[in-house]
Each structure stands twice: as structure tokens, then as C-alpha cells.
Amino acid sequence: MPTSDKFRDECGVVAIYDHPEAETLAYLGLHALQHRGQESAGIVTSDGMSLHIHKSMGLVADIFTEKKLSRIRGTLAIGHTRYSTTGDSALLNAQPIMVQSNKGMIALAHNGNLTNAGEVRARMEAQGSIFQTSSDTEVIVHLIAQSREHTLPEAIADALRRVEGAFSLVMISPDRIFAVRDPRGFRPLAMGRIPAQEGRHQDTIVFASETCAFDLVGANYEREVKPGELVIVGPEGISSRFYAPALPQSSCIFEHVYFSRPDSQVFGRAVQESRENLGRQLAIESPAAADLVVPVPDSGVTAAMGYAAESGIPLRFGLIRNHYVGRTFIEPQQTVRDFGVKLKLNPVRSLLEGKRVVLIDDSIVRGTTSRKIVRMVRGAGAKEVHMRISCPPTISPCFYGVDTPRKKELIAANNSVEEIRRYIGADSLAYLSLDGLKTACGDGDKTSYCTACYTGKYPTNLVDVEEIQPAAVEKP
Ligand code: SF4
């Protein structure tokens, strides 16, 4: 089985207000957001009277057949694609989570991670609440259901004031869609609009984690849901309120480095632009005497374009990625060295032979994959391999909805750059500086970013101290 040595993405959410094929638009939106989570997916629709759900483990295209979609037809919809961050990845934890509450039927889909979920859950269980899942998202559902507020919008606002951490949420009731971001704006959530077609008097409002979902359903990007904002779309139109006092913004900079698709706008900024800037900045800070710039596909491609453009060194696709690698793979009994990486990547010997190569990647997490890739490029005849990473060393885990290894497994938390270079076997190794990263992503321009996985300085107090201890003695 191929191993992943990347931070793993959280989740993707989408919501549709008032379209005759809302379920199909949600399905298409999730398909565009598939890179944000591949373990399970689900859609809840409303026909104006009641909610209908279908969710399952697997990929969006496998879960939703035409027949399955026909059973959940509706004019309002929310959807979720998941890679688990809290709770295991069983179907029980798949989202959206739908419940019958004293405020009526509601369903909710969450991208992010609550840092006080354990504490709130323990308190509620002590008071008699019975939780169905191990997902942190269920905490919000219970808080809404138990709120003393009388209307659903007030109950939602009340619940959100009681949770801490990262949450971009979409919610559905029989006649409304709700879209929310946490007061620090960790995770993205954008709002778009499909202009009314002939015969329809009303535009369709769409929310999605990334704007690449808008492109597929024909929606125009309108704006970001702002940190701390609750947007409600219903029969009376669109309304907005801020449910909590403003906090310093700390949007996840890793969305621009790696998670989001380059064809998306995230936090109001084109990811392609940030990623190309990262490569340019890297070339300025850490030049290399080389013949070729080679990206580690796919995530290193855009930064490599920037590095090549800035340095004047030609860009060549010297590593080819096989896109059709499944989740499990039968390994030959006679173990093939670096089998997992070889399944995914293959070098182009005719390009690499005898060349000095600058390899561009977006991160080194444990270092094991980078080591195999460097060995692969050398094995294909490269004379020198210079590794360049388009962000600073990742030294601390994330508590805001990104699956990261523990601190003791992060190679840069426990080793110097020179030690990492030796471990991965490169002729030289350099990372982008923190200032370079912030400049490339326009920090302080429209957005202020969280950079905690590079600095260990967390924007919230509630983090697991055990998790952020460096390794005592272990070295790679
Ligand atoms: S810690 Fe890193 S991955 Fe997590 S939100 Fe902050 S920048 Fe993003």
C-alpha cells in the first residue's frame, strides 16, 4: 500500500439554496472537492418539508449513483466529503450529521476541528446527553438541540459561542441554509451565486470550501463568509450576523501551500498566485546551480513553475505520477525496495540522466518519502539532487482540522536542516523562510494567517501539550 508522507487534508463542504436539482449540484460540488477528503461523503437535501440523507464510505463518484440521487431529490442541499480528523473513519462518523431536535430537523457538515470538544462532551454526557458518534461535530448538534434560545438561528449562534477551534460549517433545515466560520477564520468557506435561469425568478446561492466547486456548477464567486459570521439563506432572502466578537484572524496558510487546488480562490486569494510566488521566493532565497527544475507531482508543480521562472532554469517533468493507485495494493512477496513510492511515481531516465536536478516539493513531514524520491532520481542517473521545499520546516502538529503526525514523528521538529539533508540523501536542502512564506501568500494584505505548524505558536490556548513535546532521543 502506498504510504502518504503529507499532512492530510481535512474535509470539504458544499451547500445549495434553492435549485430544482440541488442534490445533483451538491454531488458535483463534492466531486470538485474530492481532494479534501476521500474516506466518506454524504448529502442531505430538503424538499421543503423534510430532510433526506445518503452517506457512505468511499469516493463521491462511487457513493452517488443516479438511483441514489433520485431518492434524495430536493431544492436545498448540503454535502460533505471527509478525511477524519477526530473520531475514527467509520460510517457512523461520516457527515452530514442529521438529527431531530426541539427546533425541528437539522443536518450539519463541518470542516475543521474543535479544540474543546472533549471538555464540552464530557460535561454534556455528565448531564445526560447520549452521543451517537465519536466525531467532534456532534458536540455542536447537541449544543444546538439543548440551547434555551427559541429560534434556530439564535440556538446556532448560542452553540457556536460555546465551542473553540476551527469550524467552517454548513447546515440545513427544511427551509433554510446556514453557513458559518469560526471567529479566527481557520478554514475557508466561500459564497457564490448561480444567476436565475429562464423560467426561474430566483438566483441559486452556493457555499463551498473552495471556489473550484463553483466552476463545476456554473456559480460566480461572490465573497468569503467572514470569520465569526453566520449567513442565513431562506425564503426571506440572505441575512448575515456576527455571532461572536472578532478575534485576530488566523486562516490556515497551508491551504495555500498544499491543500487547496491551484484553480481555487481561497480566503479571497488565487491559490495559483500564492503557490507560484512560493517558488519564486524560494529561488531568490535558495538558488541552486542546476540544469533542470523537477517538481514532485502533483503538489510541487506550481511552486516549481515559479522557481523555474525566477531562476531561468528549465522546468522538466522528470517524475511521472500514476493517478490510478488504489487504497490497497498487492505487493510482490519478494519485497521491492521503495515499492510504495514506485507505485505512485516513476522517473523519466532520458530527462534526468547526467543532470544536476533541483527537486521542488511542498513539505517534508517524516522524511521517509523524500528519501525514497531522492534515491529514485539518483537511480535514474541524476548527477546531483538539490531539494527545495516551498515552505518552512514543519515542526509542530495541527489542532485545527488537519491530520498531522505527532511532534516526535515530524523530522524537522527533532533534527537540523543538515541532519535532514543527510537523511534524505540530497546534495543540498533548503526550505523557504517564514517571512518568504507570508510574503508569497499576501499575509496582512486581506488575510492574516495561522503558521503554527512552522512556529509552534498556536492562536488558541487549547492544545494538547503531550502532542507538542519534541522526541526525546529518537532520530531518523
Ligand atoms: S497549524 Fe498549520 S495546518 Fe494547522 S491551521 Fe495552522 S497553518 Fe494550517
279-312 confidence digits (pLDDT tens): 999 999 999 999 999 999 988 999 999 999 999 9
Q: Which of 9, 252, 457 to mutate to test the pocket of ligand 1 (most atoms within 8 A of CB)?
A: 252
Name residue 244's amino acid: A
Pairing of strands 176-181, 165-173: antiparallel
Mean pLDDT, residues 227-252 taken together: 95
Domains 11-247 and 257-468 are alike in CATH topology: no
Q: Is 399 in the pocket of ligand 1 (CB under 6 A)?
A: no
Is the domain spanning 11-247 CATH 3.60.20.10? The answer is yes
Closest C-alpha to ligand 1, atom 5: 252
What's the CA gap between 429 and 332, in Å, rounded? 33
Listed residue (238, 218, 219) closest to 230, CA to CA: 238
Beta-bridged to residue 109, according to DSSP, are 170
Place of cell 472533549: 118
E-strand stretches of 137-235: 165-173, 176-181, 190-194, 204-208, 220-224, 229-234
Catalytic residues: 11
Average confidence (pLDDT) over 225-250: 95
Q: Where are the domains of the chain?
A: 11-247, 257-468
R_g over Cα of the chain: 23
| Contacting residues for 456 by C-beta, under 8 A, at least 6 apart | 395, 396, 468
Instruction: Name residue 267's amino acid.
Output: F
Retrieve residue 85's grid coordinates: 480528523
**Segment 119-133 mean pLDDT:** 86
Q: Please work out whether the CB of residue 450 comes within 6 Å of at least one atom of ligand 1.
A: yes
Q: Is the CB of 451 under 6 A from ligand 1?
A: yes
Count the residues in the chain: 476
| Under 8 Å between Cβ of 365 and 411 | yes
Q: Where are the alpha helices (DSSP H) in 72-136?
A: 117-126
* Strand (E) or helix (H) holding 309: helix 301-311
Ligand 1: nearest atom to the Cα of 394: 2
| CATH number given to 257-468 | 3.40.50.2020
Residue 64 CB–ligand 1 contact under 6 Å: no
Read off the pTM: 0.92
Per-residue pLDDT tens digits for 58-106: 999 999 999 999 999 999 999 999 886 556 657 878 899 998 888 899 9
Ligand 1 centre distance from Cα of residue 239 (Å)? 30
Tell me the per-residue pLDDT of 9-66, one tens digit each, with 9 for 90 and over.
Answer: 579 999 999 999 999 999 999 999 999 998 899 999 999 999 999 999 999 999 999 9
Q: Which three cell numbers stand for residue 367?
A: 522524511
